[in-house]
Amino acid sequence: MNELKAKFEIKVNYKGVNENGTPVLLKRLFLIQAISFTDAEAIITEQMQQISNDFFIEAITRSKIGEVFFSPEEYEDWYKVKVVFTLIDDKNGRENKSISYFLIDDESTKSADENIQKILNENILTDYTIESVQLTKITDVLIDK
């Protein structure tokens, strides 16, 4: 059933307290897996009710991220990696390019780049180029590992 689920980025604002105990408006960006926008809203509502009863869902958007990789160390920072795969069409010999986006938790941009390369080299038999590795604002990933 997971293959039918899409990934959604959800921006949530809620009232919380800072380190000093002062009430503040906090913002989080979640990446979740759901079958629809309605399902995504239900999942995030259930999740947020465990954190605060005073929250607002600012936006729900379908994400371009195809696959998520979790490191054993469970870093707090999430990096979005844009990869361009080069495929050769067997019929006409033309080069086709396909873009994929991955998300990985890691300690730095350099480390995320190195770890994605390791994953791709172990699992992909086609040529690829990593076009970018960017730190995201994603704070929580609610996806089956």
pLDDT in tens, 60-74: 999 999 999 999 899
Residue 145 has pLDDT above 80, yes or no: no
Q: Are residue 102 and residue 54 in the same domain, yes or no? A: no
Two tokens, residue 29: 């960006």
Q: Are residue 40 and residue 87 in the same domain, yes or no? A: no
- Return the number of other C-beta atoms located less than 10 Å from residue 31's C-beta: 21
Q: Are residue 75 and residue 53 in the same domain, yes or no? A: no
* Coil, helix or strand at residue 37: helix
Q: Which of 65, 35, 34, 61 is nearest to 47 (CA)?
A: 34
Residue 4 has pLDDT above 70, yes or no: yes
In a domain, 54, yes or no: yes
Residue 2 has pLDDT above 80, yes or no: no
Dump pLDDT digits (tens) for 7-55. Answer: 999 999 999 888 898 999 999 999 999 999 999 999 999 999 998 889 9
Which positions ≥6 away from 117 have C-beta within 8 Å?
A: 130
CA distance 42 to 9: 14
Residue 1 has pLDDT above 60, yes or no: no
Dump pLDDT digits (tens) for 99-112. Answer: 999 999 999 999 99
Residues written for the chain: 145
Domain enclosing residue 82, as ranges = 65-137
Q: Are residue 85 and residue 133 in the same domain, yes or no? A: yes
Query: Which amino acid appears at position 24 of this protein?
Result: V
Average pLDDT over every residue of 118-132: 92
Q: Which of 26, 43, 53 is nearest to 141 (CA)?
A: 43
Q: Are residue 32 and residue 50 in the same domain, yes or no? A: yes
pLDDT for position 24: 92
Looking at the 3D structure of the chain, how many domains does it have?
A: 2
In a domain, 142, yes or no: no
Q: Are residue 94 and residue 55 in the same domain, yes or no? A: no
pLDDT for position 81: 98
Residue 3 has pLDDT above 70, yes or no: no
